[in-house]
Copies of this chain bind each other. A is one copy, B any other.
């Protein structure tokens, strides 16, 4: 007889990070109970990954486990929050213990890095999908919002852009790259790095932040709309990995500006804080200034020679 839901949860969901002192009651009761530290607010984010939509049904289970946590931690990073706890709801066509074990191995790899305790969740039968909710702390009254960008603020992005987008094109047979580049790009697609340390360092410095899940143009567009401003960016400044640099230049810009799934941060910094910020930035990843916020609404791309450029795509649409 296969293991029951309860036995499966006991066997696979007891994460090695389950022993945080702020967890008063973890997996195994009707609800988890946790203590939020004094002086801290709670940041919460929930994301669902559906097989066939957000990942290939045959993707490596360990990668799905890793990525499901990474994309949620990326949302916390964009608020400048310190990760703490996660709840996981897995829907599986059948109780495949090999799949579950590998999924949790990938999940735990990242959970241990950030001391995230898995404190609860649900296991259901149905079409494969993963829903995760993560919780983190921000100093009370704080938190990096989308609403604070002001004219003249500098626009930064972390890491390099477009790697996940190019990986998807390669996997779809729409682009060809070397085996080495393919391996690098697929690593970026399947195991994105949530910019948690960068997010924490942005408190007191950044006026706004967002994570790039749907592509720079779409996601920065949310910040511009929420802040009631516009931006003028230089496509030549877009930070590109070597794999992207080997493409035709405008094709690389197109991917870097519009493709989703990179999970880098885009944030704005007032010019007078630039030096403070650039001293601190030997953090975890490079950051690049790609332009400026302006009062006039809308997103414009202007090259240093004054020629405007315009990406063709508009970012990922979920419906």
Q: Which residues of A contact B (CB under 8 A)?
A: 2-6, 8, 24-25, 28-36, 38, 41-48, 50-54, 75-76, 78-79, 81, 85, 87-89, 91, 94-95, 119-127, 129, 131, 133, 135-136, 138, 140-141, 143, 145-146, 209-211, 222, 226, 317-319
Q: Which of B5, B6, B44, B129 contacts A91 (CB 8 A)?
A: B129
Do B131 and A53 touch across chains, with their CB atoms under 8 A apart?
A: no
Within the complex, the shortest CB–CB distance from A26 to chain B, in Å, comes to 10
A126 to B126 CA separation, bound complex (whole angstroms)? 12
Do B121 and A210 touch across chains, with their CB atoms under 8 A apart?
A: no
Do B122 and A46 touch across chains, with their CB atoms under 8 A apart?
A: yes
Do A50 and B146 touch across chains, with their CB atoms under 8 A apart?
A: no
Do B44 and A120 touch across chains, with their CB atoms under 8 A apart?
A: yes
Residues of B within 8 A of A91 (CB): 48, 50, 129
Do B30 and A124 touch across chains, with their CB atoms under 8 A apart?
A: no
Known: A44-B119, A95-B319. A52 touches B143 (CB 8 A): no
Residues of B within 8 A of A34 (CB): 41-42, 44
A122 to B48 CA separation, bound complex (whole angstroms)? 7
A177 to B243 CA separation, bound complex (whole angstroms)? 68
Q: Which of B2, B36, B79, B135 contacts A29 (CB 8 A)?
A: B79
Q: Which of B85, B120, B143, B209 contacts A45 (CB 8 A)?
A: B120
Residues of B within 8 A of A78 (CB): 30-31
Residues of B within 8 A of A48 (CB): 89, 91, 122, 124, 126, 131
Known: A79-B31, A87-B133, A125-B319. A42 touches B47 (CB 8 A): no
Copies of chain A in the complex:
2
Do A46 and B79 touch across chains, with their CB atoms under 8 A apart?
A: no
**Closest chain B residue to A96, Cβ basis:** B319
A87 to B89 CA separation, bound complex (whole angstroms)? 13
A120 to B319 CA separation, bound complex (whole angstroms)? 18
**Closest chain B residue to A42, Cβ basis:** B34
- Given A38-B38, A50-B127, A125-B318, list of 20 further CB < 8 A pairs? A2-B319, A4-B319, A5-B319, A24-B143, A30-B75, A30-B211, A31-B78, A32-B45, A34-B41, A34-B42, A44-B85, A46-B89, A46-B120, A47-B89, A48-B126, A50-B124, A50-B125, A50-B126, A53-B124, A133-B133
Within the complex, the shortest CB–CB distance from A217 to chain B, in Å, comes to 14
A4 to B308 CA separation, bound complex (whole angstroms)? 28
Within the complex, the shortest CB–CB distance from A264 to chain B, in Å, comes to 13
Do A30 and B129 touch across chains, with their CB atoms under 8 A apart?
A: no
Residues of B within 8 A of A319 (CB): 2-5, 8, 94-95, 123, 125
